[in-house]
Amino acid sequence: MYHTWMRFFTPSPHHHRLGLACLGVGLQHGALPTVGPRTLDHHVAVLINAGSGWFHTTDGRRTAVTAPSLIWLTPGIPHHYGADPTGWDESFVDFTGPATTTYTELGYIEPDRPLVPLTDTSGPRAAVSRIVRAAHRGNPLLDVEAGAAVHELLVSLRRARADTGPDGDSVLKALAREACRPLSVAEHAARHNMTPAELRTAVRRGAGCSPKDYLLSIRLGRAKELLAATDLPVAAVARRVGYDDPAYFSRLFARRVGTAPVRFREQQAHSVPGGWSDRVPDPDHPPMVTPPQPGPGTLPQRP
C-alpha cells in the first residue's frame, strides 16, 4: 500500500521570466512504484524524508538511498529509482526556468551528483509545504508563490547538505571572520593548512565562487554598512575593510557597486537628530526587532 497526493501546474511565459517556475509538487509515502527508467525535460528535487531505497546511476550502478537524502533529476539525464519493500516518505517538486543555470553554476543544483545526503529535511519540507498550501484551486497567486518557494527550497537544500558542514562551512566562517584583514588568498590558505587550489575547491563547493570573490563580497558589504551607518571618512572605511590605499578602494568600490563610496553614502544618508552614533555596527549581533506592546486598556488585535 502507498499513499500519494500531487498537483501539476502550467505557469505562463510571464511567470517563467521570474527565474524559476514550479511545475508540480507531490507528497507520497509507502511502498511506492518504481520510477523510470525515464528522461525529463525539467528539474525535479526528490526529498526522501524517511525510509530507504535505491538509485541507478548513469553508468548502471545501483546505489543505496537512505533518508534523509535528496535525489536530483536533471533535464536530459536518464534516471531510475525506487523505495525498498518497506517503503519511504517522499516529497517532490518539479521546476524549470532560466535561473536553474545560475543555481547550477553556484553549486546549488548538482547534475554530476544526483544523490546528496542531507543532515535534516525540516527546512526543505517547510518550502515544499508553502507550495502545497499555495496549490489550492483558484489561488490567483499560485504561480508566483510557488516559484518563490522553489527559490527557498534550493537555498534550504544547500544549507541541509551533509557533506559541507564539517569542512566547507568552517572554512567559509573562518574566511568571513578574517575577510577584512589584509591577507592574500595564499596567506588565507596557509592559515588553514591548505594549498590555494584546495582553498579554491572548498570555497567554490561551499559558496559557489572563488575565494577572492567571496572575500571581496564580505569586504564590500562591510564597507557599505560603515558608509551608511557612520561618519567615518572614506579612507578610514577603506582601512577597516582591509585596504591601505583609499584611492584603490574607491576605484574597486565604484567598479563593483556601480557608484563611488561618497555617492553611495549620499544615497543612503538619513537625517538623524543629534547626529550619527559613534558605535560601529556589529553585523554578527543585529538588534532584535520586537512588535509594539499594547498599551494599558487596549485589547490585542485579532489576526
Domains of the chain: 2-160 (2.60.120.280), 167-268 (1.10.10.60)
> Per-residue pLDDT averaged across 143-166, rounded?
86
In sequence order, the 6+-apart residues with CB closer than 8 A to the CB of 97 are 16, 18, 19, 20, 21, 147
Amino acid 270: pLDDT: 59
How far lies 6's CA from each of 9, 25, 164, 281, 288, in Å? 10, 6, 32, 47, 39
Q: What percent of the chain has pLDDT over 70?
A: 86
Rounded to 5 degrees, φ, ψ at 89 are -105, 125
Crossing angle of helices 261-268 and 211-229, in 10° steps, is: 50
> Per-residue pLDDT averaged across 105-119, rounded?
91
Amino acid 200: pLDDT: 87
Is the confidence at residue 272, as pLDDT, over 90? no
Burial of 33 (0-12, 13-18, 19+ CB in 10 A): exposed
In sequence order, the β-bridge partners of residue 198 are none
Amino acid 298: pLDDT: 54
Is the confidence at residue 29, as pLDDT, over 90? yes
d(CA 294, CA 291): 9
Amino acid 303: pLDDT: 44
Amino acid 165: pLDDT: 45
Least confident segment among 25-29, 61-65, 229-233, 292-296: 292-296
Amino acid 133: pLDDT: 95
Average pLDDT, the chain: 87
> pTM, whole model, 2 decimals?
0.75
d(CA 5, CA 26): 6
